[in-house]
Amino acid sequence: MASLVKICGLSTPSSVEAALAAGADMVGFVFFAKSPRHVSLAVAQKLGRQARGRAKVVALTVDAGDDSLAEIVEALAPDLLQLHGKESPARVAEIAEAFGVATMKAIGVAASGDLVAAKDYARAADMLLFDAKPGKNAKLPGGNGQPFDWRLLAGVTHEQPYLLSGGLDVANVAEAIALSGAMGVDVSSGVESAPGVKDNAKIAAFIARARAAFSRSEDNELAQRQARAGSIA
């Protein structure tokens, strides 16, 4: 798949513009009252209009009911609904059918066994997102700034495109891409100066480093294919 960079938890016109100007493929808005990145429908609507046509607009929800989802879809008209709760594969498919919007399901990962759950969602969701599984005392299902062992994804094939998330920042995104082989990344707290406060310089630097790492990954893959072809010949 083509490389993808998503900046999530945006809440101001300035941070949205910083993400767009730096070349983000996706911008995410959080609809979860417990999160410091939560935005109202009115704010999200304005920010969504700002991003429309320049990047995919993503609405992050956590076990939201149909009424809440209907309000979000009407106000934001998202390109993707990111389902970051305990939604079952059946619920994911139900949401997609009911609202006619593509879905991205977040999968919490702490060990290799957690990747098995992804197979159950492969046919229900249009995309997957592998995030660090929150600890027992975590207040949020994501955005906690905690990584998982990125090597767990190395060599794993998935039917659907996916993003890597969880503890990514400017300093480690290149290593995360190299170790996991992921061609898509998602960041929120890793480009903030305080919880919920985006740092525009960090956003630009993150995107630049991710792009460079994706390019190196593609070059390495091409070199390996050419080496294999040469050995066969």
List pLDDT tens digits, range 66-86: 999 999 999 999 999 999 999
* Domains present along the chain, CATH in parentheses: 4-232 (3.20.20.70)
173's torsion region: left (phi>0), alpha (psi -120 to 50) or beta? alpha
Q: Write the secondary structure of the chain as one string of H (helix), E (strand) and C (coil).
A: CCCEEEECCCCCHHHHHHHHHCCCCEEEEEECCCCCCECCHHHHHHHHHHHCCCCEEEEEECCCCHHHHHHHHHHHCCCEEEECCCCCHHHHHHHHHHHCCEEEEEEEECCHHHHHHHHHHCCCCCEEEEEECCCCCCCCCCCCCCCCCHHHHCCCCCCCCEEECCCCCCCCHHHHHHHHCCCEEEECHHHEEECCEECHHHHHHHHHHHHHHHHHHHHHHHHHHHHHHHHHC
Write down the pLDDT at residue 113.
87
Write down the pLDDT at residue 23.
98
Which of 200, 213, 202, 187 shows the shortest CA–CA distance to 26?
187
List pLDDT tens digits, range 151-163: 999 877 667 789 9
Cα distances (Å, whole numbers) of residue 11 to 3, 64, 96, 203, 232: 24, 20, 25, 13, 53
- Tens of pLDDT along the chain (233 residues)? 689 999 999 999 999 999 999 999 999 999 999 999 999 999 999 999 999 999 999 999 999 999 999 999 999 999 999 999 999 999 999 999 999 999 999 999 999 888 887 888 988 999 999 999 875 665 566 555 678 999 999 877 667 789 999 999 999 999 999 999 999 999 999 999 999 999 999 999 999 999 999 998 765 555 555 555 555 55
- For the chain, how long is the longest CA-to-CA vector? 61
**pTM assigned to the model:** 0.90
Contact 184, 4 (CB under 8 A): yes
